[in-house]
Amino acid sequence: MGRSRGGFSTKIHLITDGKGRPLHVTLTPGNRHEMTKADELLEHAQGLALIGDTGYDSDAFARKIRRRGMKVVICCNPTRKKKRRRLDRKLYSRRYKVECSFHGLKRFRAVASRYDKTATNYLAMVEIACAWQWLN
């Protein structure tokens, strides 16, 4: 778990299907970068395109996505000066489904408040919340 001024923090990384239902979830400490789990998420990705936020903007990661036969739909980091990718706005507009999935997870008080002291227990609670999203 990561340490910040507010205490322990954790980032939830999520792969969803086209309807926003979780396919794979993993955790990192809050002070780690998103790219530390990018390869693990890519292993579980399905479909014709991978839609991600700016934290996953990397030329190496984009090459790995293309090698899997998927289209890269990741918004470029605003500080990027060279090799800016064109963004398919129509596909990127579907990223709200991922944000809705995160909102559904945060509706569980134990997930939003992070009562668990260990990452293993917290991940188990997040996975229960993911299963609940599949059931509803």
pLDDT for 58-92, tens place per residue?
Answer: 889 999 999 999 999 998 888 887 888 888 889 98
Supply the range of the domain harboring residue 35.
2-127
What is the C-alpha radius of gyration for the chain, rounded to an integer number of angstroms?
A: 15
CA dihedral 113, 115, 119, 125 (to 10 degrees): -80
In a domain, 136, yes or no: no
Least confident of 5-9, 109-113, 126-130: 5-9
Average pLDDT over residues 43-58: 89
In a domain, 9, yes or no: yes
pLDDT at 4: 47
pLDDT at 126: 93
- At residue 1 the predicted structure's pLDDT band, cuts being 50, 70 and 90, is low
Specify the CATH number for the domain of residue 56. 3.30.420
Domain count within the chain? 1
In a domain, 134, yes or no: no
- Report which of residues 39 and 7 the model is more confident about: 39
In a domain, 135, yes or no: no
- Given a cut of 50, whether residue 131 has pLDDT beyond it is yes
Give me the long-range contacts of 47-54 (CB less than 8 A, separation at least 24).
47/17, 47/18, 49/73, 49/88, 49/91, 50/74, 51/91, 51/92, 51/94, 51/95, 51/98, 52/95, 53/95, 54/78
Average pLDDT over residues 97-122: 88
β-pairing, 22-29 vs 7-16, is antiparallel
